[in-house]
Chain A
Amino acid sequence: MARPEAKIKELRTADLKREPGARKDLVVTINRRSEPRLIPYGDQFLSVRLPVGTRVIYPPPPLDDLPDPDTAIRYALLHPENADPLFAQLNPNMRVTIAIDDISLPLPQMRRPDIRERLLNQVLQTLADYGVDDVHLIVATSLHRRMTESEIRRMVGERAFRQFWPDRLYNFDAENRAELAMLGKTDHGEEVWLSRRAAESDLLIYLNINLVPMDGGHKSAAVGLAPYQSLRHHHNPATLRDSHSYMDPTRSALHRSADRMGKIVNSQLNVFSIETAVNNRMYGGLLDFLHKNEDRFTDWDRTRLAAMQWTMRNLSNDMRRQAMYQYASPYGMTGVWAGETEAVHRNALERVFQQYAVPVKGQSDILIVGVPYVCPYNVNSIMNPILVQCTGLGYLFNMYRGKPLVRQGGTIIISHPLRDEFHPEHHPSYVEFFHRCLAETTDAVELERMFEAEFARNPTYVHMYRYGHAYHGVHPFYMWYWGEPARQHVGRVIAAGCEEPNVAARLGWESADTLDEAIAMATADHGSSATITYLHLPPLVIADVE
């Protein structure tokens, strides 16, 4: 039986030759006749005429969806990598825990059925067929906020929800000491803690979605089911400064640490990993023009763009946000693999890079990125300034392999309105972090030394994490550390279109009213011959910089 996705590579190669947006055309240089470019600006899009000579990097077109995802999942469960098939590992008396990636993936949320629902239905059916009753489903939130009942229902589907919620389907609680188990220490002295239920299970099945290459692998269980005591070993300024980049696991100290911890987990538990890869079809239907090169826009595309911009301009901030979160992406599954964690992850990584990687020659002086309305930590919430920082400097700066897109000492221009807005239920500790900690210092090492432990143990934040829907008290620190490699690398960050300059100043950034003004400020520094690169979103793209 051939793998259902076996033909994908050949098909795509043929498609890429035919498509106008073929991979060889993904790096475009702006000339005098070029159309204005769309740049994400929070929950809107700016239409900006970029300077002549600016290099624009476009994402590759989406890989084809698997024609029959359910069959592909069944195949993966029956033909796992370096492991016995799932059914062969089961007996009726065993205890099984299924861990599931949380709402931070994929972004925006995908149309139903969610991949996790498809995976769960197949896995639960197999468990039922072999008489396994002691099954718990844990949403691997780690220090993320607890998902709400409706969010979980949407993610896992009606069947699993009705059968398991709420007693056997629940969010992981990293602050319930009685439900944590320490598995040991790595040779680097890193403490490996895990959900006790998972640790005491005969079989741990992890259901993953790989949106970008930093997801999956040992990072799934060893992070998703782990508390602060474990995470502090790699979510810290020193480790993250040594990660080049987060999207390149081979050169990321964060991933090396997670791998060390994951190996301890796998040495003590029977882990059956199931990883999936999705294509980058972030927007479809009436919004599919957002993926296109603006020079190839048709009149119909321009009409849709004008209508979208008019609508967004005329909605209040709240309504605009609500409207954006109603959108569900038509992501398609491009691969599914099951079995031993590392072997599975190698396959998934290969497929993910096949989707995202674009070869790019050389770095530039100035990098322009647009921060959209959503990142992994504000689904159905507010993109606050700390998360803008995390998305701009943490994620978008790290969308590279080899070398960063911007040279050492260069300038990053981040397009976002940067409002002093926070979601008090989801991000309570962010408010204090922003107004109190950043008022004292923006140095990540100092912040870690002065405040991290206090926030991590703060009883109010612990309560809100455990019983409300708040991110853990220490989470804003991690978001700040996430931007650390970029802060170490670039000389200057300018917030373009910033509505509240004091917010940019608090982050240690400069501000400009418009993107043109930001580019002028940057070129004043780097000279009129400064090279500029714009990383075009959506969807996501990873630059292989030579």
Chain B
Amino acid sequence: MSVHRSVTKHQDGAPRAAAFYDLDGTLVDFNLVHAALFIVGNLAEWTGRAAYFGGFLARVPQLYRAEQHDRRLLNITLFEGLRGISLDRLRALGEEYCERVLAGRVYPQARALLEGNRAAGLEPVLVTGSPDFIVAPLARELQIAEFAANRLRMSRGLATGRLIEPVMAGSDKADWCTAWAAARGIDLRACWGYADSYYDLPFLSALGHPVAVNPDRRLRATALNRHWPIVNFKMEEESAALSLTALIKNWLWSGGNGATGS
């Protein structure tokens, strides 16, 4: 049978199965809007921060509609707000965001799960709609070698605000996993997938062992209907409070102290 999986490895030592993880809301207690606001809030001059922040405020209705209907559109709309920021600045802020916020907001149980799955022979892979300049440092922190993230199209070193296709959302996540597994001779039926949103349904459905993590209402209903495991990760209350404080501080009073200049 082909459904055997996990602990055994190929002769070359490569795992025979993988565990695919969504990031925001699944492994880490954050969301894309939070990340985008951090970046905008840490731009160099207060005038620049105000302009970008105003741009985000103007997009709020659009973002809300996108959130309700289409995750892909949400990603596209959100990243339009980063137009004009330089690549090196984005990378620096991504590193900083990871170090100051994300690293402290990884669910403790998620770390244990990652380690457990790794020990069971499942290669960890991040599949997320977050931008690569945020995902890359976090993947390093979590010792995850493989990830798929959204990439901003750059022009002359500046972000154009557009995303390089395929946009990591919905069925494109599933397609990426399928191609990634096929290239390595891995059977997706033996792979595990973890995600938190109903928009990740195609991604979860493509895998043999889907798991709903902190699912939203619609994903929970689907998981119950399909007999998928549901797990709930929680942050320590204190840590969450500290992080929120840090974010507000960055927005309001960084004044060049909270972030390195571009």
Contacts and interface: CB of A to CB of B under 8 A. Distances in A.
Interface stretch (A54-62, A90-98, A420-428): A420-428
Interface in A419-466: 422, 424-425, 428, 431-432, 436, 439-440, 450, 454, 457-464
A458 B120 contact: yes
Interface centre among B116, B117, B228 (most CB of A within 10 A): B116
B120 A424 contact: no
Interface stretch (B1-9, B25-33, B95-103, B251-259): B1-9
Interface string A461-490: 111100110100000000000000000000
Contact of A463 (B112, B209, B223, B227): B112
A533 B60 CA distance: 72
B113 A424 contact: no
B229 A460 contact: yes
Contacts of B209: 432, 460
A460 B192 contact: yes
A432 B4 CA distance: 12
Q: For chain B, which range describes its interface: under 10, 10 to 19, 20 to 34, or 35 or more residues?
A: 20 to 34
A419 to B, nearest CB: 12
Contacts of A425: 230
Interface in B207-224: 209, 211, 223-224
Interface in B106-152: 109, 112-113, 115-117, 119-120
Contacts of B232: 467-468
A424 B221 CA distance: 11
A443 to B, nearest CB: 14
A24 B230 CA distance: 52
A457 B122 CA distance: 13
A424 B224 contact: yes
Contacts of A454: 6-7, 120
Given A436-B3, A440-B1, A459 B228 contact: no
Interface in A490-514: none
Nearest to A457: B120
B227 A431 contact: yes
A141 B223 CA distance: 26
Given A432-B209, A440-B1, A459 B227 contact: no
Contacts of A436: 3
B122 to A, nearest CB: 9
Contacts of B223: 424
**Best-buried of B7, B117, B229 by chain A (most CB within 10 Å):** B229
Interface string B166-204: 000000000000000000000000001000000000000
B25 to A, nearest CB: 16
Nearest to B208: A436
Given A436-B3, A459-B112, A428 B229 contact: yes
B242 interface: no
B227 A424 contact: yes
A467 B230 contact: no
Contacts, number: 59
B246 interface: no
A422 B227 contact: yes
Nearest to A425: B230
A483 B67 CA distance: 50
Contact of B120 (A422, A450, A459): A459
B51 interface: no
A462 B120 CA distance: 12
Contacts of A470: 229
A431 B230 CA distance: 12
A158 to B, nearest CB: 27
A52 B157 CA distance: 91
A352 B3 CA distance: 46
A460 B6 CA distance: 13
B211 A460 contact: yes
Contacts of B228: 424, 431
Contacts of B230: 424-425, 428, 464, 468
Nearest to A420: B227
Contacts of A461: 229
Nearest to B117: A459
B231 interface: yes
Contact of B231 (A431, A457, A468): A468
Contact of A464 (B1, B117, B231): B231
B125 to A, nearest CB: 15
Nearest to A434: B227
B106 to A, nearest CB: 15
B116 A464 contact: no
Contacts of B227: 422, 424, 431
Nearest to A441: B1
A383 B211 CA distance: 22
Interface in A288-320: none
Given A432-B209, A454-B6, A467-B109, A462 B229 contact: no
A440 B5 CA distance: 13
Interface string A343-383: 00000000000000000000000000000000000000000
A108 B125 CA distance: 45
A454 B192 CA distance: 14
Most buried by A among B7, B117, B231: B231
A439 B1 CA distance: 9
A372 B112 CA distance: 39
30 contacts: A424-B223, A424-B224, A424-B227, A424-B228, A424-B229, A425-B230, A428-B230, A432-B209, A439-B3, A440-B1, A454-B120, A457-B119, A458-B120, A459-B115, A459-B116, A459-B117, A459-B120, A460-B113, A460-B117, A460-B192, A460-B211, A460-B229, A460-B231, A463-B109, A463-B113, A463-B231, A464-B229, A467-B232, A468-B232, A470-B229
Given A428-B230, A460-B211, A468-B232, 9 more contacts: A422-B227, A431-B227, A439-B3, A450-B4, A458-B116, A460-B113, A460-B231, A463-B109, A468-B230
